[in-house]
Structure 1
Amino acid sequence: MIAWLRRAVQAGLAVVGAVACMAAFAATPKDQLVIGMNMNNLLSLDPAGATGNDVLGVVANLYDYLVELDPQDLSQVRPALAERWEIAPDRMSLTLTLREGVHFQSGNPLTADDAAWSLRRVLKLNLAMASPWKSYGFKAANVERLIRAEDARTLRIDLPEATDPRMVLYTLATSVSAAILDRQAVMAHQKNGDLGAAWLLTHAAGSGPFALTEWRAKDAMLLDRFDGYWRGPARLRRVVMRHIGESLSLRFMIERGDVDLAAGMAGPDIEALKKHGGVVVQPVLRGTSYYVAVSMKDPHFADRRVRLALRSLIDYQGINAAIMPNYGVSHQRPVMIGLAATLPDPGYRLDPAAARKLLVEAGYPKGFGTTIRVMSDPPLINIATSLQATLALAGIDAKILSGTGNQVYGAMRERKFEIIVGRGGGGVEPHPHANLRALVYNPDNSDAARLTNFQGWRTSFHDPEINRLIEEAVRERDPAVQDEMYRRIQQRYEREVGAIQPVSQMVETVVLSKRVHNYIGHPSATTHLRDVYKD
């Protein structure tokens, strides 16, 4: 294959055409990493609007961030484009000093002006990735004043309202919105004042270790090494990402050596590959939860007793034992595993008798009918099937409505659902506020508020006391006091029977050829490939 590919390149054949032929061959080239993955949800490369874990891994290698998180210890913030930073004594501003001599892939120098413009652009476009910044109080009207370059190397970020500055640093390190763009290159493609948004859907303008050579949606993406990278050239010459929609196909391809890394495989195929001597299975714990959510706009689930009954109708142990291996680990709290503030699991169990008693008290002695919306992909559909069966033990007749992400989460955003089996809840930043902001916080429960990025709002769960505690905790300066406040929030959420019940914390499992070295999957999905190499 290597000789064929070289001849193809020398002959000037189209790069993507070469990639399309790679499936017929084994033993991928030594200087290329070939990744097999489902690219259905890879829809945009614009850091201001791109969503999903898949794009995080792409952007982390096309662009640089100001800071990074240590993949082995997420509490450790490491220098990247910013060689140092300071938090003001009043905790209301951050000043970052950028390193000298960094150039974009275009050859343009990277300055603090580029960094300020990149962050401001996110708020001005107000696309999906503006959400974390808006939660800190930034908006298009104030961002020019609050985020600015003081000179070519100094970036200052003034906070519009009191918050934990660690959260802002974590967002700078993990959110796709924090990638630093080449302003000159992007603005050269601006149309009708869109700040280059149309062009950046399918192009990139970064300073990262790899440059985008070609992307064909749901087909293939090629990233070629940027030899002028400020850290020094990456060890691989090329990264090839191939769209492989079927898990079984991915399994066969990594067994044969057609791909070097397989991502997003089904649990049974991962289990089978654990017995294969030529591969390594690498699980990475994420901060996201698999959950069962109900709408409190629905009259059944507006009743606390019905929500409490539902809590006793989830087979947590059975789901985690039979369905979740290689997908998740048992976890029943809204705050992710591993943080000082995370409470031990409450130990919820399947208890149909307790559920039936609660339903009688709520006025539903014979149960009722409802629907479960869920994506058709495993493990979500499997969790929904288990839930359907256990709900029936208490007389609740639940019909499963499976669909695409837009159909399922779209109904949730419109607050037009009854039950959803889903995955989400922040957790990119290693801080309790990241989970609570996503799953619990709901400062305005009106339909007109349209707080669609808050899943608490989507479910119509609204507790003013919890909202107050979340707002106060993120401003608290004493770490011990702050942790205790987060524990109180979890305890109150348990007593109030929140509308979202976590079942399992997400594990992303990749399968690697043993030829691949230095691949360290990042819990925040910002996995860097600059130091990866192959035998």
Structure 2
Amino acid sequence: MVRRTLAAGLVFGIVTAAASTLQAASPPNMLVIGTDLAAIPSLDPAAINARTVSEVVSNLYDNLVQLAPDDMQTIRPMLAESWTVAPDKRSITFKLRAGATFASGNPITAEDAAWSIRRVIKMGQVGATDIALWGYTPENVDKFIRASDDRTLVVELPEPVTTDLVIYSLAGSSLGIIDSKVAMQHEKNGDLARDWLKANAAPSGAYSLTQWRPNDILICEARANYWGGAPAMKRVIMRHVPESGNQRLQLMAGDIDVAQYVGSGDLEALAKEKVVIDQVPGFGFYYIALNMKDPDLAKPLVRRAFQHVLDWKALAQTNMRFAGFPWQSIIPKGMAGAPANPLPGYEFDPALAKKLLAEAGYPNGLKKKLFPAGPVHLQNTEALQASAKLAGIELELVPGEHTPDFRARNFEVLMGNSGARLPDPFGTAVQYAYNPDNRDSAKLGGYYLWRTALDAPELTKLVDQSKSETDPAKRKALFEQMDKIYREMDPSLIVLFQRTDPYVLRTNVKGYFGHQTWSTRWSGVTKE
């Protein structure tokens, strides 16, 4: 067992065994990844926040700064070679590296960086979630984010914010730098090239997009003129292999080098083979989501009943063995404010759940529709469906890709998982404890609390306080307070596991490291 320790107190686990030997089939300068391409509706950085598409976009577009997978606390240069924070902490000035170019050959300028960041805010899609938190709006962003010359970008803060949080957010995959000249050649009706960037790219990163056929294949070619040097993998192919068993078979045959969505049963089998299983801890959780627009689910006793209807201990030994570990807090393990005891009380107890439902006025139980966020969650929803029946809750399972329904509040009960791109407890707190406007018309689909229609002004206020507080002890106390209030309110998001993302690699693949924020980059990958 090889382990790499993270600053956040989490661990990368790598499982290897030598029951058989795999022979490499793909060329030595080509990386083939088996994944699920169905969850990629767009390649536009402004429209993304999911795992697979974030990886693609992170290789098409470089950021100003980056976070290494083995050290999430140290902000490292990328397109910005240096930066300075003003004495009053209200602005950050980035100096871009000289000589970096886009795939088109155009120089990468501070104006391209300003345009890319402002565009994300103006688009107002899910990619804006992190950066918009610092007070930027479509109306003020041109004023606060600007280029002072070709290599100098000034990022002013509309309100007091801990500057490290702002810089962390600029490492997120949605804030990659786009070739504004190329993109704007394809603008239509003031859409900032939204339609064109759905299926095309204007790259600043190590790779260019060659081909993308939705639900089939995505091909990227290495850039010979990349500022960081030409990558060893001249071509990276992502194949649409949604079935876990097929990923396992293709990995064993050498048809793919990396498998990204392998189920627990196939992982158990692969752990006996000569492969690498890299369990990457994520800043997110597996949850049961209850829509409080439903009058039944709006009742606290009903939500409390749902806390006791999943046999999570059984899941921890089966479906979730490689995908997560039991955790019942909205603060990730090892971060400031996380509890010492990760399991404060959501025990599987169908008899208690029945009693709570009866007290809520449902002596004969409830019937609801149950959505998996996507196909990868189907086994967990099936487990919930079975165990909830013991408590008198009949859940009609509706298979499919339901993340869009979740974002639109168009669901009753849903199971899914989250990820955050900030290596700070604020990153998860803003998802699970923040809802600044509970109206449907606000369309704040980036915030999970809004998705479930839970209005929690006290929590929202604490989250706002935490983003400007710089004293470590005070920040820790704020997150502890949030976590306590959250549990006591019978929340609409029942957290049961902290996620890990298993990546299975053939042993000849070196330098491919799954990233906690899904910004896995291919430029350092080699094959032996």
Same fold (TM over 0.5): yes
Give 1:315-334 correspondences, 5 Å limit: 315-334=311-330
| Structure 2 contact 38–215 (Cα < 8 Å) conserved | yes
Q: 1:399 aligns with which of 396, 401, 406?
A: 396
Q: Tell me the residue number matched to 2:53.
A: 55
Q: Does 1:150 align with 2:148?
A: yes
* C-alpha deviation, 1:95, in angstroms: 1.3
Written as runs of structure 1 = structure 2, the 5 A alignment for 1:10-21 is none
The answer to whether structure 1 residue 138 and structure 2 residue 136 are counterparts is yes
Distance 1:302 1:275 in 2: 46
Kindly report which structure 2 residues correspond to 1:33-432, keeping only aligned pairs within 5 A, or say none.
33-174=31-172, 176-277=173-274, 279-343=275-339, 344-345=341-342, 346-375=344-373, 377-378=375-376, 380-405=377-402, 409-424=403-418, 426-432=419-425
1-structure distance, mates of 2:368, 2:183: 49
| 8 Å CA contact 1:316, 1:348 repeated in 2 | no
Q: 1:127 to 1:443 in 2, by over 3 A?
A: closer
Equivalent-residue separation in structure 2 for 1:337 and 1:482 (angstroms): 16
Distance 2:35 2:144 in 1: 39
Partner of 1:525: 518
The CA deviation at 1:180 is: 0.6
Helix, strand or coil for the counterpart of 2:497? strand
TM-superposed CA distance for 1:190, in Å, is: 2.5
Give me the whole-angstrom Cα distance separating, in 1, the residues matched to 2:305 and 2:331.
Answer: 22
8 Å CA contact 1:308–1:358 kept in 2: the answer is yes
Question: Relative to structure 1, is the Cα distance of residues 101 and 460 closer, same or farther in structure 2, using a 3 angstrom cutoff?
Answer: same
Determine the structure 1 residue equivalent to 2:456: 463
Shift of 1:66: 0.4
Which residue identity lines up with residue 201 of structure 2 in the other structure? A
Q: Which moved more, 1:68-77 or 1:362-371?
A: 362-371
Task: Give, in whole Å, the separation in 2 of the partners of 1:350 and 1:155.
Answer: 53
- Partner SS, residue 329 of structure 1: strand
Between Structure 1 and Structure 2, how many residues are aligned?
Answer: 504
* Alignment TM-score, normalising by the size of structure 2: 0.91
CA distance in 2 between counterparts of 1:309 and 1:221 reads 44
Distance verdict in 2 for CA 1:390–1:215, change over 3 Å: closer
* CA positional deviation for 1:152: 1.6
CA distance in 1, matches of 2:35, 2:372: 22
Deviations 1:348-387 (A, max 9, x none): 2112333333333323333233332224624x22222222
Q: 1:423 corresponds to which letter in structure 2? A: N
CA contact (8 A) 2:371 2:411 kept: yes
- Unaligned ranges ≥5, structure 2: 1-22
Counterpart in the other structure of 2:439: 446
1:263-311, Cα deviation, whole Å (9 max, x unpaired): 112221222112122x212111111211111122323322222222221
SS of residue paired to 1:382? helix
Please name the residue that 1:534 is paired with.
527
Task: Measure the CA separation in 2 of the matches of 1:410 and 1:33.
Answer: 31
Check 1:127–1:470 CA distance in 2 against 1; reply closer, same or farther (3 A cut). closer
How far did 1:475 drift? 1.4
> Distance between the aligned counterparts of 2:231 and 2:405, measured in 1?
43
Question: Residue 451 and residue 203 in structure 1: after superposition, are their counterparts in 2 closer, same or farther (change >3 A)?
Answer: closer
Q: Distance in 2 between matches of 1:253 and 1:493?
A: 44
CA distance in 2, matches of 1:118, 1:86: 20
Give me the whole-angstrom Cα distance separating, in 2, the residues matched to 1:243 and 1:280: 21
Give the distance between the partners of 1:46 and 1:325, measured in 2 at CA: 33
Aligned mates of 2:444, 2:518 — CA distance in 1: 25
Structure having the higher Rg:
1
Relative to 1, partners in 2 of residues 1:300 and 1:125: Cα closer, same or farther, differing over 3 Å?
closer
* Sequence identity percentage: 38
Q: Which residue identity does 2:42 align to in structure 1? A: S
Answer whether contact 1:329 1:504 (CA < 8 A) is retained. yes
The residue identity in structure 1 corresponding to 2:228 is: R
> Are the aligned partners of 1:225 and 1:237 in contact in 2 as well (CA < 8 Å)?
yes
Conserved in 1, the CA contact under 8 Å of 2:126 and 2:445? Answer: no
CA distance in 2: counterparts of 1:446 and 1:49, whole angstroms? 22
* Structure 2: distance between partners of 1:410 and 1:477: 36
- Whole-Å separation in 2 of the counterparts to 1:513 and 1:128: 34
CA deviations on 1:443-463 (whole Å, 9 max, x unpaired) are 222333332222212212122
- 1:54 deviates by 1.0
Q: Which moved more, 1:103-112 or 1:244-253?
A: 244-253
For residues 90 and 66 of structure 2, the distance between their equivalents in structure 1, rounded to whole angstroms, comes to 21
> What is the alpha-carbon distance in structure 1 between the residues aligned to residue 232 and residue 24 of structure 2?
21
* Cα distance per residue 1:107-154 (max 9 Å; x no partner): 111111111111112222333322323222212111110100112211
Counterpart in 1 of 2:427?
434
**Which among 474, 483, 494 is matched to residue 467 of structure 2?**
474
- Amino acid corresponding to residue 76 of structure 1 in structure 2: T
User: Offset of 1:43 from its aligned partner?
Assistant: 2.7
